[in-house]
Amino acid sequence: MYTFADRDGTSYTLRPEGTASVARAVVENGLFGGTMPLKLFYIINCFRHERPQAGRYREFYQFGAELFGAESPAADAELIMLAHDFLKALGIGNTTLHINSIGCPKCRPHYKEELVKYFSLKKERLCNTCQSRLETNPLRILDCKSPICREIAENAPKTVDFLCDDCKNHFEGLKSRLKEVNIGFQVDVNIVRGLDYYTRTVFEFISTGIGAQSTVCGGGRYDGLVHQIGGPELSGIGFAAGINRLALAMETGSAYVESDEGPDLYIAAIGENASIKAAGLCAKLGELGLVCETDLVGRSLKAQMKYANKINSAFTLILGDGEISSGSAQLRNMKDGQQTDVDLSNAESIFKTVKREDV
């Protein structure tokens, strides 16, 4: 938590993540009363107190997706597939999926006992932070970045060896579904979460080449969270990705690709009357669902056509006094150069022509 006092002594704690906020919104707005599962997403800014590193900033922006009301491993698999496809769409291909199960309130207490026994024998070698974690949250020792703590943790008890039958079956169900959709993964017993409301599945997509922090997307199941903040017993699972780190991963992997998708139609207007007419036509076509642009900076006709070509407009329409008088103009397909006469008073006809020609 990033907690500090301002000049008058008022204490502030800045938002560290978005999952709890979304869960609170679900409770406060009674969204759990609708049809399940409930699928939500968010984009927010967050803050952390730790020392900034490559791809890791004090203030950062986060995209997340959450799914409530589905306890099955199918929900876990769907969220992971969504994260996988999301990263793929961004061109971030150098990632590996790491998964683990941290059990549930039924089987985790016994695991924690064994973990404390193991690390207590090596307490003097642990870093100061992990010595404190031994009393408060021993699972967090497993993902400590200290080389010495990592070495000690290699032989620590593994979560997957202490799972109850329900958690084992859930984890196996997730792995079967990931194999079915050809998403490669590796079981990483060092992936844990520091809060007690997390249960069973935890996962991370790890990238290479972006500095000390290589996780570009991470998530997990949090079946105890909604109840803990005053709501009903409602399962949940989600993931979050730091937008700053995603951008860094894209840049490192040369994934920036300029989209070649432009507007559906560019209206080249000649003169003030045509400019006014073009604005009205763009508004009508926009209401129908076309992405339509027209000149805003007073370009010549030649410059407007160059601009339409530069922004990769699918169609162009030249509008001048002659076209306004006749009530018709020629719609040009920029791919093949074919031209079609269109009625300027019939926006629906223009819409249908563009969409039909575009197909």
DSSP letter for 316, please.
E
* 144-182 tens-digit pLDDT: 888 899 899 889 999 899 999 999 999 999 999 999 999
Phi, psi of 318 (to 5 degrees): -90, 130
Is the pLDDT score of 359 beyond 50? no
- pLDDT score of 31: 92
Residue with tokens 């979050």: 240
265-358: what fold? Rossmann fold (3.40.50)
Q: What is the pTM of this model?
A: 0.72
Average pLDDT rounded to a whole number, residues 192-196? 76
Lowest mean pLDDT of 104-113, 127-136, 168-177, 211-220, name the range.
Answer: 211-220
Task: Pinpoint the residues of the chain covered by CATH 3.40.50.800.
Answer: 265-358
Q: Is 57 left (phi over 0), alpha (psi -120 to 50) or beta?
A: beta
**Cis ω before 37 (30° cut-off from 0):** yes
Are 36 and 70 in contact, with CB atoms under 8 Å apart?
yes
Helix (H) or strand (E) holding 333: strand 328-333
Task: Pinpoint the residues of the chain covered by CATH 3.30.930.10.
Answer: 2-107+163-252
Helix (H) or strand (E) holding 113: helix 108-120
* 208-267 tens-digit pLDDT: 765 555 888 999 999 989 999 999 999 999 999 988 888 888 877 656 555 567 899 999
In angstroms, rounded to a whole number, what is the distance separating the alpha carbons of residues 262 and 259?
Answer: 8
- pLDDT score of 192: 84
- pLDDT score of 257: 55
* 1-50 tens-digit pLDDT: 788 899 999 999 888 889 999 999 999 999 998 888 999 999 999 888 77
Q: Does domain 2-107+163-252 have CATH number 3.30.930.10?
A: yes
Is the pLDDT score of 137 beyond 70? yes
Are 200 and 192 in contact, with CB atoms under 8 Å apart?
no
